Amino acid sequence: MSSAAAPAADFRRRVLAGEWLAGSFINLGSSLTAEIAGRSGFDWLLLDQEHGPGGEETLLHQLQAVAATPAAPIVRIAANEPPRFKRVLDLGAAGIMVPYVSTEAEARAAVAALRYPPRGIRGVSKFNRAAGFGLAFDDYYAHAHERLVTMAQIETPEAVASAPAIAAVDGVDVLFIGPLDLTTNLGVPGHFDDPRFADARRSVAAAARKAGKAAGILLTVAAQIPVVRAEGYTVVALGSDGGSVTAGLLAAAVALRGK
């Protein structure tokens, strides 16, 4: 197994075993904050290519930085489009988070884009970072479908209703709630305590549990942790590098000004 594939293999096993897996979002496009986060004790990091500012070269540097840490690097792509999967996976991501997966068909398309033929439609190239630049290609080709993690984001009422069908798709490992998008699409933007959002969370967690998959979510405050943990969420991210930097700098400025 190549060094780039190693975190993926262990992480997917842990995901499907229902382990509590602590993560954070990396949205500044910085390889330095990615490395700091990777050394901070997280099990996984979400490198954001949907809303984050970085491009593919930035992502490569982030993946190289995280490879020197125990954290598994998951990349959120901007859209459920096959070329986006191929580029990110060849760079050595341990898995992909796919935004706005609202139907079973969209979930199947995501899994197909992540897997090589005959299991999917991912383009094949031996010389890439994920396959050890060709040195570990045979092993990677044979086992990538067993090692790479697919996180389907649940961000619409349609996705909540389709959660059982999405979870039942072979290769979908995590139903991951995007809280701001989901609350917005439920008509209660940012109201994370709203009963409609709570009902949606519980429905998604139940669907994941019934299918033997994991439920995941991004949290903004630590007080939410026991709530979602009790509901059955196990792949849980708290905050982001951008949020941490902003909060830290604001606190320092306030302290210096005595306000």
Q: Which residues are catalytic?
A: 51
Q: How far apart are CA 235 and CA 21, in angstroms?
A: 5
Q: How far apart are CA 107 and CA 139, in angstroms?
A: 26
3-class DSSP state of 54: coil
Helix (H) or strand (E) holding 110, with range, is helix 104-114
Q: How far apart are CA 58 and CA 47, in angstroms?
A: 10
Q: How far apart are CA 95 and CA 63, in angstroms?
A: 12
Neighbour tally for 255: CB within 10 Å: 9
Q: Are 138 and 111 in contact (CB under 8 A)?
A: no
Q: Are 148 and 94 in contact (CB under 8 A)?
A: yes
